[in-house]
Chains A and B, each alone.
Chain A
Amino acid sequence: KQEVTQIPAALSVPEGENLVLNCSFTDSAIYNLQWFRQDPGKGLTSLLLIQSSQREQTSGRLNASLDKSSGRSTLYIAASQPGDSATYLCAVSSDNSGNTPLVFGKGTRLSVIA
């Protein structure tokens, strides 16, 4: 059974700092990995989707990498801003079910202090 773990659970950084959020998964046979942002009491906003054949994806100040064989992904946020404060969720779709539901980690709660 696929398990997704995110470290750290919470992170507080000063504005302007570069930071890395970590995600690990137990079963390396995945189709894709998706990073989401969740603001308190709100829905999930898709940030980046990495397909299993890719090693990284970039969008603006965000860069996500995937090392499928080792079961790891990182989300790099450059020049963090207070508006980046949110919970960041990692989710993977595995290949052992007909419609590959996403398996989520518990998230990293990020606070960027002005």
Chain B
Amino acid sequence: EPEVTQTPSHQVTQMGQEVILRCVPISNHLYFYWYRQILGQKVEFLVSFYNNEISEKSEIFDDQFSVERPDGSNFTLKIRSTKLEDSAMYFCASSEFPGQLLAGELFFGEGSRLTVL
């Protein structure tokens, strides 16, 4: 069964360092998302991406964050200068259709745990 894959599964970094989290969405999906979950809290939306541009972003997704689809398969989340409060599980998701048009189901990866020291 097709799945969303994420790397690394766990990354430990020092505050102020840049981090890139990578995702390979399901191959025929066109809509890509990043969500995060701080330990013990709700899963929160960060950003959605379609047709090589950001469709929507939350207030969490400030100038320290960026996303990119560098080739036909990868979708990355970059945090430019990590802060302690960026420690969380980051989930990538993809969908064949957007929620607004055809009520598309989202498929999530296993997550990348980021620990900022």
Residue B55 CB within 8 A of the other chain? yes
Residue B99 CB within 8 A of the other chain? yes
Q: Point out the residues of chain B lying under 8 angstroms from A101, CB to CB.
A: 33, 45, 48, 56, 58, 99
Complex alpha-carbon distance, A41 and B4, angstroms: 16
Q: Say what secondary structure dominates the interface of chain B.
A: strand
What are the interface flags for A72-114 relative to B under an 8 Å C-beta threshold, 1 for contact and 0 otherwise? 0000000000000000010101010111111111110000000
Residue B100 CB within 8 A of the other chain? yes
Return 12 A-B CB contacts under 8 Å, by A number.
A32-B103, A32-B105, A43-B109, A43-B110, A44-B108, A49-B105, A89-B43, A98-B55, A98-B100, A99-B56, A100-B98, A101-B99
Complex alpha-carbon distance, A42 and B113, angstroms: 10
* Interface positions of A (Cβ within 8 A of B): 31-32, 34, 36, 41-46, 49, 51-52, 89, 91, 93, 95, 97-107
Complex alpha-carbon distance, A49 and B106, angstroms: 9
Contact B99 A106 (CB under 8 A): no
**Interface size in chain B (residues, C-beta < 8 A):** 29
Contact A95 B100 (CB under 8 A): yes
Q: Point out the residues of chain B lying under 8 angstroms from A100, CB to CB.
A: 98-100
Given the known interface contacts A31-B99, A31-B100, A98-B55, the answer about A36 and B31 at a Cβ–Cβ threshold of 8 Å is: no
CB distance from B33 to the nearest CB of A (A): 7
Complex alpha-carbon distance, A32 and B107, angstroms: 14
Residue B18 CB within 8 A of the other chain? no
Given the known interface contacts A42-B110, A43-B111, A49-B105, the answer about A99 and B41 at a Cβ–Cβ threshold of 8 Å is: no
Complex alpha-carbon distance, A97 and B107, angstroms: 20
Residue B91 CB within 8 A of the other chain? yes
Contact A43 B43 (CB under 8 A): no
Contact A46 B106 (CB under 8 A): yes
Residue of A with least CB distance to B58: A101
Residue of B with least CB distance to A101: B45
**Partner pick for B42 among A36, A95, A97, A106, CB 8 A cutoff:** A106
Contacts A49-B105, A99-B98 given; 9 further ones with Cβ under 8 A?
A31-B103, A34-B106, A44-B43, A45-B108, A101-B56, A102-B43, A102-B45, A104-B43, A106-B41
